Amino acid sequence: MKEHSKPERTGNAGGRHMNRRQFAKATLAGAGAAAARAIMGPTSEAEATREKADEMRKHIRTSDNPVQIDEKKYKRFDACDTAFNSVSREFGENYFMHLIRNQMKYVMQGKTCRDVQTGSVREARHVYAFGNAFNNILEQLGGDGTNMENRGPTNSWTPLEYTKPLMIPGPPSEKDPDVLTPMTKAVSRIAGADKVGISALNRNLIYASCQPNPDFFAGHEQDPPIRKPINFRKDVKEPGENDHELFIPDTDINAIAFAVEMPRVMVQTGAQFSIVGASMHGYARLGYIMGTLSEWIRMQGYWAIPAKNDTGANVPMAAEAGLGEAGRNGMLITPEWGPAVRLAKVLTNMPLHHDQPIAFGVAEFCGHCRKCARECPAQAITYGEKTWEGTSSTNAHGAYRWYNDGAKCLKDGWIAEGSTCAVCLATCPFTKGEMWPHELTKAAIKHAPALNGIWLSMDDAFGYGFWKERNYKDIFKYGVSTYGLDPKKMKKEFI
Ligand code: SF4
Ligand code: SF4
């Protein structure tokens, strides 16, 4: 493999680089207050971004093959081999217990993660509580989906016990995708999805097997890990499960993918404990969205399989549904919120129109940038090119992509930092919101790809390069976006 050196930093967390205020003062005095405000104060940019999303997408080119697979090499991934499962098996207990123990240790040392010292237990505890409070009710909403195939109210593959009596027997009454597609998107948006896309299901992306005993994952190790295949079957009309397998009807299947925005200011506090709150808040919202949409689909007479990180791979599925492009950091990068999104999907036999996959320069930009690789505390992200071969047992080999080491990320990133880390989201130039340098950057990527090499330096020069700089108090200073129904956008999209 071609060797790549780590990109040089142009500043550091100690402040050698010019900070945003200094830069604005020095260079933007004549550029007007609006530009300076745009740099210094991300005020309600999430709302503005949502407003502009359609306009931005008009200028984005379409893509025919966001997921490239070598059919000779590729095998559907076994979800028993996710980093969460394999590391938990290696430890003999749920990895999360290790993470929590470190988190508590750091709090008592006055830290908000391994490397950020506040000097005060009181302050560290603020961040600890802010991160973990969002983790609580989430458990009732299916967690992050890991090992939750057909488990719990939001992940059930069949109607819920208390909604079964509401299901009208017989075939669907509405079969027209012209009617069902905007309705599907409207229900998803009303339930809180920030973006919805639809594709024909790529069956390569459905896990070959899963480990659907969340009790093991929840720390009850008396339940040994189990392995169940997920099979497509011609002889069933509804998805379901028996003692040996989970099964999906072998028919035309659509995948409805959702993105919910993670509050940018919270994301930029990663790897401090507050990032846990941003992730878990997103997953809780997704549980509500997919549970609601699935029941709506069933009441229309079709079947639905809701899933977060379970059942199939989110990032390529969301890319095929036109929500964004896969980046070097292994995340979906959206035009609106960069990688600061959480994803889920609902599979269904409901007839729906498909969205077009998009390309807006992520592949080209990531090829030069490598900022996430440089900043990753675990050094789990590749500096190399895309390849067809994975580098660890947590990878699905045979797809053309950047492969990262999930086990390293979990052990030397999440567990070591005592949080869900997300430094690769916090530092990604696409996470930066609507500040003009980044809009300029995104435009330039599209029109002048030869200049891509300079953008990492530019991002650093603006003081966005170094994750330790973001103080958790910014969350309260700037506020975070609301979510859910956006009447103006709803009117534009569906009415
Ligand atoms: S930090 Fe750079 S290389 Fe990493 S995902 Fe973001 S744009 Fe791509
Ligand atoms: S979450 Fe942290 S440890 Fe994992 S890849 Fe991202 S930066 Fe690295």
Which of 115, 329, 409, when mutated, tests ligand 2's pocket best, judged by the most ligand atoms within 8 Å of its CB? 409
User: How much distance in Å is there from the Cα of 386 to the middle of ligand 2?
Assistant: 18
Residue bearing the CA closest to ligand 1, atom 4: 372
- Structural domain contains residue 5: no
Peptide bond into 318 cis (omega under 30): no
Using one digit for the tens of pLDDT, what is the confidence trace for 190-247? 999 999 999 999 999 999 999 887 665 555 555 677 889 999 999 999 999 999 999 9
d(C-alpha 314, C-alpha 310), whole Å: 9
Ligand 2 atom with the smallest distance to the CA of 423 is: 7
C-alpha 474, offset from chain centre: 22
Question: Which residues share a beta bridge with 78?
Answer: 209
- Ligand 2 centre to CA of 248 (Å) is 33
Give yes or no for residue 80 having a pLDDT over 60: yes
Please tell me the number of the ligand nearest to residue 7's CA.
Answer: 1
Ligand nearest to the CA of 402: 1
**Which of 331, 366, 381 most suits a substitution to test ligand 2, by most atoms within 8 Å of the C-beta?**
381
Residue 476 CB partners (closer than 8 Å, separation 6+): none
Nearest CA to ligand 2 atom 1: 422
Separation CA 349–CA 352 (nearest Å): 9
Q: Is pLDDT larger for residue 169 or for residue 31?
A: 169
330 CA closest ligand 2 atom index:
5
Residue 117's beta-bridge partner residues? Answer: 111
pLDDT of residue 347: 98
Of the ligands numbered here, which is closest to the C-alpha atom of 404?
Answer: 2
Distance from residue 425's CA to the centre of ligand 2 (Å): 8
- Residue type at position 449: P
The per-residue pLDDT for 372 is 95
Q: Which of 372, 431, 441 to mutate to test the pocket of ligand 1 (most atoms within 8 A of CB)?
A: 372
How many Å lie between the centroid of ligand 2 and the Cα of residue 330? 10
Report if residue 14 sits inside a domain. no
Per residue in 399-451, pLDDT (tens digit) is: 999 999 999 999 999 999 999 999 999 999 888 755 444 555 556 655 555 55
Pocket test for ligand 2, best of 421, 425, 431, 468 (most atoms within 8 A of CB): 421
Confidence of residue 138 (pLDDT cuts 50, 70, 90): confident
* Ligand 2 binding site (Cβ under 6 Å of any ligand atom): 376-378, 380-381, 404, 409, 413, 421-424
Q: What is the mean pLDDT of the chain?
A: 81
**Which of 213-223 are b and which e, b meaning 16 or more Cβ less than 10 Å from the residue's Cβ?**
bbebbeeebee
Nearest to 134 by CA among 317, 4, 277: 277
Closest ligand, as measured to the CA of 275: 2
Residues 49 and 438 sit within 8 Å (Cβ to Cβ)? no
Cα separation, 260 vs 393, whole angstroms: 29
Residue 419 lies in a domain: yes
- How much of the chain exceeds pLDDT 70, in percent? 75
Would 8 be classed as within a structural domain? no
Residue 398: what are its φ and ψ, rounded to 5°?
Answer: 95, 5
**Helix 487-494, helix 45-58: angle, nearest 10:** 20
Q: Which residue has the least CA distance to atom 7 on ligand 1? A: 366
- Of the candidates 256, 410, 403, 398, which has an alpha carbon nearest to the alpha carbon of residue 326? 403
Judged by its nearest atom, the ligand closest to the C-alpha of residue 276 is: 2
Kindly state the tokens that stand for 163.
């909604």
In a domain, 11, yes or no: no
Contact 327, 430 (CB under 8 A): yes
CA 227 to ligand 1 center in whole angstroms: 35
Pocket test for ligand 1, best of 6, 267, 315, 329 (most atoms within 8 A of CB): 329
Measured CA distances, 151 to 73, 77, 231 (Å) = 31, 20, 17
Nearest-angstrom CA–CA distance, 377 and 380: 8
Look at residue 40 and tell me whether its pLDDT is greater than 60: no
Closest by CA position to 386, among listed 434, 468, 343, 325 = 325
pLDDT, tens digit (0-9, with 9 covering 90-100), for 151-183 = 989 999 999 988 899 999 999 999 999 999 999
Q: What is the pLDDT of residue 19?
A: 36
Domain count, the chain: 1
pTM of the predicted model as reported, rounded to 2 decimal places: 0.85
Beta strand 246-249 pairing with 228-233: parallel
Residue 9 belongs to some domain of the structure: no
pLDDT at 136 over 90: no
pLDDT tier at 92 (50, 70, 90 boundaries)? confident
- Residue 60 is encoded by which pair of tokens? 């984005």
- Closest protein CA for atom 8 of ligand 1: 366
User: What residue ranges line ligand 1, CB within 6 angstroms?
Assistant: 327-329, 365-366, 369-372, 428-430
- Provide mean pLDDT across the span 55-65: 77
- Boundaries of domain holding 120: 20-494
Nearest ligand to the C-alpha atom of residue 441: 1
481: pLDDT strictly greater than 80: no
Torsion of CA 492, 282, 348, 250, to 10 degrees: 140
Domain assignment present for 10: no
- Ligand 1 atom with the shortest distance to the CA of 375: 1
Q: Which atom of ligand 1 is nearest to the CA of 456?
A: 2
Beta bridge partners of 358: 62
| Residue 2 within a domain | no
